[in-house]
A and B are shown apart, each in its own frame.
Chain A
Amino acid sequence: MRSAKSLSAVGLLAAAAVVLTGCTAPEVEKPAAKDVELRMTVWTSNEDHLALFDSIADEYMADHPEVISVTFDPLPFEDYTTTLTTQVGGGQAPDLAWILENAAPDFVASGALAPIQQTLEGTEGYDFSDLNESATALWKSDDQLVAYPFSTSPFVVFANDDLLAAAGQPSAAELLADGKWNWEDISEVGSAVNAATGKAGFVIRDFDYTTWDNLASIWMGWGAAPWSADGAKCTFNSDDMADAFEFIHDAAFEQKSMPGPGTTADFFAGEAAFTVTQISRASLLAEGGFGWDLLPLPEGPVGEYSMVGQAGIGVLAQGEHSDVAADFLAYFTNPENSQKLAQYFPPARNSQLNAETLAAANPVLSADQIADVVVPGISTGVVRPSHTNSAEIGQQVRSALDAMWVADADIPAVLDSVCDAVEPLLGN
């Protein structure tokens, strides 16, 4: 018994030591300005992207000896926001971070991001007024910019003309010329491709029957939206949305023009006739792989429309060196570096949103494709839906929509259940 007591005493002492050490440790002084080490979390691990970032950082450090390193820290895309918030919660906040548009409202509204507008405006040669007004709308708090929209990437359609020809179907350009570039005809052609070749008709990339917000690239064509403009009321059960989901359900379960749940098809591996994705995915097109074309989103019942995905770079308010980080961000996104970044990330600068700049930066795309698809897509695109508390809303919608992905789904009832699930969250 004495041993047990002694062991307990040792345990308690050790616990107390651990706790007290944590509580009474002297506060570490911030390193002197000359020793600044910056870290930016990103979700790309593409070596070309990272090499470009490193080269910009090297140029910055050459002029700013107080910064001894800039580290670009790639985190997996699937868990990016979760990993980032966990780092912040664990006291390991990066100095700068890429932020997805669906997480933007949470980061902007919570005060997690430090204001950067004053720094950007005060940086010589930055030309702050050149930033596109609609591109910056999502990233403002109290009318002050808190993150820089470094990538405004339109959703487009890539078409596999070789597969269309193999299925005896017209090419994408022919469909467009014949006035058949709309969802109904795309689904019909996709269905014929599936019947003739066993390959998929059209694929909404990264949807996989879980990332439901990617379906916005379809339902916007029906004039539908998941919630009202002020974000307070669920509109999943609107007539427009029901019609859009009728189309999607029919494509998946009747026409078989879209792969059903649990079926995978990668357009860039030649497994589908069409895919809807962001223009930045053009880098996945293999040289000499297959004949392809690039077109805008097909028309829906409301006519032409376009959608953009956005990503911002913010300075974390909880980071150790927010002032230096904001200064580095101003350099990283100045006109010269924005032009360099444009080869991978469509810029938010009006002066660079033209066919010449984008064509020079995107060797994979033709000048016509950029002029006809990319530029109009960026300038007229509506940002993919987002809302505060996006993770929980996203989970509730995904969970409720699962009932949609069976052959005999009651579509209006499922959409009502989606609204029942998210309405309490939208009000908050």
Chain B
Amino acid sequence: MITSPDRASARSGGTPRTRRRGLSYQRWDELTGYLFVAPQVLGITAFVLVPLGLIVYFSLHEWNVLAGTFTFVGADNFERLFTDQKLAPVLQATAVFSTGLVVLNISLALLLAIMLNRRSRAMVVYRTIFFSPVVVSLVAWTIVWGFLLQDNGGINALLATIGIDGPNWLREGPTAMAAVIVVQVFKNVGLNMILFLAALQGVPRELEEAARIDGAGARVLFTRITVPLISPTILLTFIITIVGSLQVFAQVAVLTQGGPGTSTTVLVYYLFQQAFLFGRFGYGSVLAIVLFLIVLVLTVVQWQLRKKWVFYEN
């Protein structure tokens, strides 16, 4: 690469020479950089920072949409958090959903990736099959599963052929939550599988061969060689799966509408109910802040814990 004398002097700390007209090369470089990041900065400002600020603003007000009134209520909406008897079951349902989803999704994705980490044409077909739900419309996917999970739907018809009287999946608390989790796992497991597959293919063969020569069995090979080497990918999938699990909405809205009872009313669905169904935009904003803080804390905790178990980050 050819380096111009002006740029070289700027990098070495010398006095930058000004071009005869317009900006110096250093200023020009800086401006180019700002122009490159400008779309992202503007996007984040308009669609993340400003809405975040507005959420805090709304949380201090009560907004009656139909009457067209917008009243400052101070911390009233935050105080409601402590008297809302529905919030504890909602947080519990959210925790059950997130835990179930993360454990099932990561385990299944890793298992599939290990099974499909072979050079064969058949493996390519299987990878495509497992990845294809990721690109299917979420709502369409959920509606189809909604039909399959009806009491007289396809799943129970299949179970009946082997003599099993299936439960009414979406109408009983425990099975409803399990159904929502499994539908979401099948939808997105392909994405984590591909990430794990890419990580597994990056594990050097010579390390595995050396371990085998040293007498390592399959279990030791996996726990002592493979897992440490793909630990950055495991961290990444954990973070994106947990964050995604806390934002689940469409599956609940389509499959159960939060029922039976409130057994599948997760935090985002509850937020939607409060703000958009019941017209409590102030309290809905407070719940959005709670969700933001939960996601933030979990992400920071995972990021800090990585020092204990994530290797080879660079």
Return the CB mask of A84-101 against B: 1 if under 8 Å, else 0.
011011000000000000
Which one of B45, B168, B281 contacts A14 once the chains associate, using CB atoms below 8 Å?
A: B45
Return the CB mask of A1-38 against B: 1 if under 8 Å, else 0.
00000110011001100110000000000000000000
List residues of chain B with CB within 8 A of the CB of A264.
150, 152
Return the CB mask of B21-64 against A: 1 if under 8 Å, else 0.
00000000000001001100110111001100100000000011
Which residues of A88-116 are within 8 A (CB) of B?
88-89, 106-107, 110-112
A146 to chain B, nearest CB (A): 12
- Flag whether A263 is at the interface (Cβ < 8 A): yes
Q: Is the CB of A262 within 8 A of B169?
A: yes
Complex Cα spacing A198 to B45, Å: 59
Q: Is the CB of A318 within 8 A of B68?
A: yes
Complex Cα spacing A178 to B46, Å: 70
Q: Is the CB of A15 within 8 A of B49?
A: yes
Q: Is the CB of B168 within 8 A of A10?
A: no
Which one of A86, A262, A391, A398 contacts B278 once the chains associate, using CB atoms below 8 Å?
A: A391
List residues of chain B with CB within 8 A of the CB of A190.
none
Q: Is the CB of A110 within 8 A of B53?
A: no
Complex Cα spacing A10 to B150, Å: 53
Q: Is the CB of A82 within 8 A of B46?
A: no
List residues of chain A with CB within 8 A of the CB of B34.
6, 10
A314 to chain B, nearest CB (A): 11
- Flag whether A395 is at the interface (Cβ < 8 A): yes
Q: Report how many residues on chain A are interfacial, defined by Cβ distance under 8 Å.
A: 38
B108 to chain A, nearest CB (A): 26
- Flag whether B65 is at the interface (Cβ < 8 A): yes
List residues of chain B with CB within 8 A of the CB of A400.
261
Q: Is the CB of B260 within 8 A of A405?
A: yes
Q: Is the CB of B65 within 8 A of A88?
A: yes
Which one of B49, B68, B171, B276 contacts A11 once the chains associate, using CB atoms below 8 Å?
A: B49
List residues of chain A with CB within 8 A of the CB of B45.
11, 14-15, 18
Q: Can you report 29 residue pairs joining A to B where beta carbons are below 8 Å apart? A: A7-B37, A10-B41, A11-B44, A14-B42, A15-B50, A19-B50, A85-B65, A85-B279, A86-B276, A88-B66, A110-B64, A111-B67, A112-B67, A112-B68, A210-B257, A261-B171, A262-B150, A262-B168, A262-B170, A262-B171, A263-B150, A263-B152, A389-B278, A392-B277, A395-B277, A398-B257, A399-B262, A402-B171, A402-B259
- Flag whether A285 is at the interface (Cβ < 8 A): no
A378 to chain B, nearest CB (A): 29
Q: Is the CB of B46 within 8 A of A18?
A: yes
Complex Cα spacing A389 to B273, Å: 13
Q: Is the CB of A15 within 8 A of B152?
A: no
Complex Cα spacing A89 to B54, Å: 14
Q: Is the CB of B150 within 8 A of A110?
A: no
Residue among A6, A85, A89, A106 with most chain B CB within 10 A: A89
- Nearest CB in chain A to that of B42: its residue: A14
Return the CB mask of B257-273 against A: 1 if under 8 Å, else 0.
11111100000000001
B276 to chain A, nearest CB (A): 5
List residues of chain A with CB within 8 A of the CB of B259.
210, 398-399, 402
- Flag whether A80 is at the interface (Cβ < 8 A): no
Which one of A85, A389, A399, A405 contacts B171 once the chains associate, using CB atoms below 8 Å?
A: A405
A389 to chain B, nearest CB (A): 8
Q: Is the CB of A112 within 8 A of B66?
A: yes
- Flag whether B6 is at the interface (Cβ < 8 A): no
- Nearest CB in chain A to that of B44: its residue: A11
Complex Cα spacing A403 to B41, Å: 50
Known: A86-B276, A107-B66. A260 touches B151 (CB 8 A): yes
Complex Cα spacing A5 to B259, Å: 48
Which residues of A342-393 are within 8 A (CB) of B?
389, 391-392
B71 to chain A, nearest CB (A): 14
Complex Cα spacing A389 to B149, Å: 32
Complex Cα spacing A14 to B49, Å: 10
- Flag whether A209 is at the interface (Cβ < 8 A): yes
A2 to chain B, nearest CB (A): 10
Which one of A89, A261, A395 contacts B281 once the chains associate, using CB atoms below 8 Å?
A: A89
List residues of chain B with CB within 8 A of the CB of A19.
50
| The 7 residue pairs across chains A and B that have the minimum distance between CB atoms | A262-B151, A402-B260, A110-B66, A89-B65, A112-B66, A14-B45, A110-B67
List residues of chain B with CB within 8 A of the CB of A406.
171-172
List residues of chain B with CB within 8 A of the CB of A263.
150-152
Q: Is the CB of B41 within 8 A of A261?
A: no
Complex Cα spacing A162 to B231, Å: 66
List residues of chain B with CB within 8 A of the CB of A262.
149-153, 168-171
Return the CB mask of A282-294 against B: 1 if under 8 Å, else 0.
0000000000000
B260 to chain A, nearest CB (A): 4
Complex Cα spacing A112 to B64, Å: 10
Complex Cα spacing A403 to B262, Å: 11
List residues of chain A with CB within 8 A of the CB of B68.
111-112, 317-318
Complex Cα spacing A108 to B168, Å: 40
- Nearest CB in chain A to that of B253: its residue: A79
Known: A14-B42, A392-B278, A395-B277. A209 touches B67 (CB 8 A): no
List residues of chain A with CB within 8 A of the CB of B149.
262
List residues of chain B with CB within 8 A of the CB of A107.
66
Return the CB mask of B280-308 against A: 1 if under 8 Å, else 0.
01000000000000000000000000000
